Structure 1
């Protein structure tokens, strides 16, 4: 779609319809910069774990009630999507929904459609929730000087959200699952699977440092646990500010404190653990999968394998200095589908070996850039929940609240408020330059920029006047509400074939021009177009949100038509009733 948009820009320029400045006007539009900055803000919420905190709360509160899950899911997605990209929110919740469906033994079809609909409804909640709102507001300011406030959409969005929840509770049975259709499995293995495969529960233990232990106050490297006992400390779990944190890198300098929990890989099967614990005043604790799940946003496991011509083949893990090079610990080796036992760090590596390594997600991901001697295999499912800046979550919330406050107050333009939030996120190390740039959906921005010349061309060639005159002659005498209905229907139909942002770009000048021809306020007309542009419920290609859930839920085209068309009609009726009440003609 972005390539088509670029071709459209080229066609306008070569045909002489628009000047070069007019064709490239989108690159200087403040809303383009604002949308890019909002992608970065959303990335900040993900990297600090704020977005996943909501999903974890959802799983905890909903328990085994499908109805409760559906209601809380839609509320959470719509709430988060009010302040960050709905596409990003849906991407975050897709693996969460799959896990919930597996645990509850229900088909993903039952929850993926509510997820998608809530993501689209989130675009109707605030001014910054979706690009069409910003596009319509920009056109309104440019044409009339009027502007929409941050919460102009909220009353309409809340009503539609409540209606959407009730609608999905009633119509979810339409998403029938055939008798021979099975729930889709989660393709990725989990950390729990790796623990069982490598039998870590048998040789990896947790030890609580009790009061009076001779470990307390000593740096880990001075304890010489590896040389004296063949014990490899993988991580330290420590309570701080009433929550557990994991120390998984630079452990050598870490000073042991009372109540620390040491995660230790025991390479010496002959070690008398009872005697060791009594001597150093430690209390053993069992290793379970959930111990890792609790910290899976920071720490993880992954399998790596040496490439066939690696210089490290024939050398042991100790000789490779694996821990010093990569900051990761090797805690398992699989060779010819058999798990090796004994002192793994002294085992010479062979071609085809699978090494299970543990450490911070950031170090695991950095390993790809640091070496060509090892290949990182498929990441476990928990990588989707990695939050490398989890400790900065309070600062991320402060940055977001600052942005929202500035936008609501109108002290500075929205784009400046978003820029301030991004700089705060960078200042507090919630994001870094690489993650900020990679979080921007450049194809989406190019699509918007490429479609912007359409509205200029329609105005310059008289196309808008032609459409406006046709619509006024057709429905102008039928009343103001019928005009709004015609605008909504036209916007919804156009949205079947192009993106909702492109729909807003095309329809906003038409709606505003109609209002001016009729000597009416342009705000209700603009609002109708904005809501209709977000009401992309009818086909799987109407919005990226719909496309994203198509595969995981194994939906068919007809599923969206069956659910989306009636709901779009209901949204239209609510919009036509509420908009004139909230924004008089």
Structure 2
């Protein structure tokens, strides 16, 4: 609203021609930001980052090593994907790690949030302010910054900042208890997963598998071999491809368990078989159909779309109420998949696990069902069967193939932009296209992956920032800073640009800060007769360093509730960290980008 009001005011006062009011939405920086958000979603949903975090994070290390590894991983990921996405991915890991280390969640969440913010300043795509700064440099006629032009200064600042946080700074974080209403917590779910030929557990014993998932709070309570169900099988029994493991785990641990063991949900496999059989039957019926039906050819893709709706499926927990028509009946009895197009992924029951298979297990009053299907199908099922929705769950079912594809797409997009083979906007747009074709990001999910408030903010403020420059406002503000504070000293002027950018970023969106400060930085450098590069880099560093308030950066907002923080808790670590950033960045700026 503020951005659009600013744009409207500039148009109504004639500072921005009405024909150029929305030209900001076609700006390459806006397109690049949107595309990077989509590619980040591909890394997230494919399980690529989950696999990386499990490979990198130590399982039984102490506070120092665990926190250092977590914060370093967050910083590295933020350099190549949206830092809000990196934070969201690692938050559950941080909360789980805090419990193991006997720390409050906030004592790990704040260091992680600040580390991901620091990591974002190392590359052009790490954070939107860097893209804005790069686009303003292009407008000066010297060309935009390259992908890794931000690395020398950004890496020095990020390395110093992360080191300070993990060695000293985390001790300054207030130990707050988690605030707010907790999400619905259920008992552990019982689910079935099939061992594939390339599964990590094929050929090893159940005892070794239990060791692999001990830290995940999951356990193997049974298995199905050659259609024979075994409860409490011998710990020395080896698992073979084709076996089905009966797993007890919380909903939030299911994805990690599946990825760690290399398993696939049995119901997902059954759904794929059913879809394929339907498609084959439809093709056979079409081939055997009379010739007068040839004017209505079978659309195989349409048939598959009707039977497989995974692109827009959700996971929902449903409670079976007393008097439900489901009581005493199983998923097979009610023809769940045929009638509703849904999968029963797991059942949580407060009693003993049943000896029956999941699909043939009779429902009881009070059962919690983890259902996968379209929102409409789940709503219809709940209404028909007297069930009540309890909680929507996130479950990223990992896929090694898609994880590799998402990683390769991101690498190629970054490489093409970094080596100047393609403009950044084109390179990342092609990456999004490849993601949709290979379905690492399903086409229906592309628009949901974009943070539209950021896009609107950018598109609206770019013309406003241009008006600041063309109207002389930026020049006026620059001269005020120079004459009254910097007094013509270039180093002092650079310091002021950095500090003012940091101050504004704590109070308003970092993207808006970059858009407002870039014209002032360019005008200040011009008035001093020095290079604009160090001043623009100072804006990039300052706009990214929002450590004093929960509203300065989305990562700070994300941890407000889970960490139990108040508004004034951020500055205790934020102030020394911002002072360190100033101390490290200024000499590095002057060395890498001389005046």
Relative distance call for 1:324 and 1:511 in structure 2 (3 A) is same
Q: Distance in 1 between matches of 2:241 and 2:91?
A: 45
Instruction: Tell me what 1:483 maps to.
Output: 493
* TM-score, normalization by structure 2: 0.76
Deviation of the 1:39 alpha carbon: 0.4
> Where does 1:347-496 land on structure 2 (aligned, <5 Å)?
354-357=367-370, 364-366=372-374, 368-369=376-377, 372-374=380-382, 377-378=389-390, 384=394, 386-387=396-397, 389-496=399-506
Q: Distance in 2 between matches of 1:281 and 1:458?
A: 66
Instruction: Tell me what 1:227 maps to.
Output: none
Q: Distance in 1 between matches of 2:233 and 2:40?
A: 47
1:321 corresponds to which of 332, 335, 352: 335
2:89 corresponds to which of 71, 92, 100: 92
Deviation of the 1:139 alpha carbon: 0.9
* Cα distance per residue 1:119-150 (max 9 Å; x no partner): 11012110111111110110110123332121
Instruction: Tell me what 2:6 maps to.
Output: 8
Instruction: Tell me what 1:41 maps to.
Output: 39
SS in 2 for 1:372: helix
Deviation of the 1:264 alpha carbon: 3.9
Q: Alpha carbon RMSD of aligned pairs, Å?
A: 3.9
1:114 corresponds to which of 111, 115, 140: 111
SS in 1 for 2:121: coil
* TM-score, normalization by structure 1: 0.77
* Cα distance per residue 1:355-399 (max 9 Å; x no partner): 5357xxxxx15365465122674458xx54514544311121211
Q: Distance in 1 between matches of 2:330 and 2:31?
A: 51
2:151 corresponds to which of 142, 149, 154: 154
Instruction: Tell me what 2:25 maps to.
Output: 27
Does 2:141 correspond to 1:144? yes
Relative distance call for 1:285 and 1:148 in structure 2 (3 A) is closer
> Where does 1:339-354 land on structure 2 (aligned, <5 Å)?
354=367
> Where does 1:267-286 land on structure 2 (aligned, <5 Å)?
none
What are the ranges of 5 or more consecutive residues in structure 2 without an aligned counterpart? 204-220, 268-314
* Cα distance per residue 1:200-242 (max 9 Å; x no partner): 5xxx8xxxxxxxxxxxxxxxxxxxxxxxxxxxxx442113176
Range with bigger deviation, 20-29 or 472-481:
472-481
Does 2:197 correspond to 1:239? yes
Q: Report if the CA contact (8 A) 1:472-1:514 is conserved.
A: yes
Q: Distance in 1 between matches of 2:449 and 2:475?
A: 39
* Cα distance per residue 1:417-439 (max 9 Å; x no partner): 10121122222221111121110
Q: Distance in 1 between matches of 2:70 and 2:248?
A: 28
Q: Distance in 1 between matches of 2:184 and 2:112?
A: 21
Q: Give the number of aligned pairs.
A: 513
* Cα distance per residue 1:309-346 (max 9 Å; x no partner): 98878965434201444453476585xx7679686877
Relative distance call for 1:512 and 1:376 in structure 2 (3 A) is farther
Deviation of the 1:533 alpha carbon: 0.5
Instruction: Tell me what 1:222 maps to.
Output: none
Q: Distance in 1 between matches of 2:28 and 2:520?
A: 21
Instruction: Tell me what 1:194 maps to.
Output: 188
Range with bigger deviation, 397-406 or 17-26:
17-26
Deviation of the 1:461 alpha carbon: 2.7
SS in 1 for 2:491: helix
Q: Distance in 2 between matches of 1:353 and 1:116?
A: 39
Q: Report if the CA contact (8 A) 1:106-1:183 is conserved.
A: no
Q: Distance in 2 between matches of 1:454 and 1:353?
A: 57
What are the ranges of 5 or more consecutive residues in structure 1 without an aligned counterpart? 205-233, 246-260, 359-363
Q: Distance in 1 between matches of 2:202 and 2:46?
A: 15
Deviation of the 1:524 alpha carbon: 0.9
Relative distance call for 1:367 and 1:501 in structure 2 (3 A) is closer
* Cα distance per residue 1:76-123 (max 9 Å; x no partner): 011111111101111111111111111222112221111111111012
Instruction: Tell me what 1:210 maps to.
Output: none
Q: Report if the CA contact (8 A) 1:99-1:186 is conserved.
A: no
Q: Report if the CA contact (8 A) 2:321-2:366 is conserved.
A: no
> Where does 1:173-188 land on structure 2 (aligned, <5 Å)?
173-177=171-175, 187=183
Relative distance call for 1:237 and 1:323 in structure 2 (3 A) is farther
Relative distance call for 1:315 and 1:265 in structure 2 (3 A) is farther
Relative distance call for 1:29 and 1:291 in structure 2 (3 A) is closer
Q: Report if the CA contact (8 A) 1:389-1:429 is conserved.
A: no
1:561 corresponds to which of 554, 571, 589: 571
Deviation of the 1:187 alpha carbon: 4.3
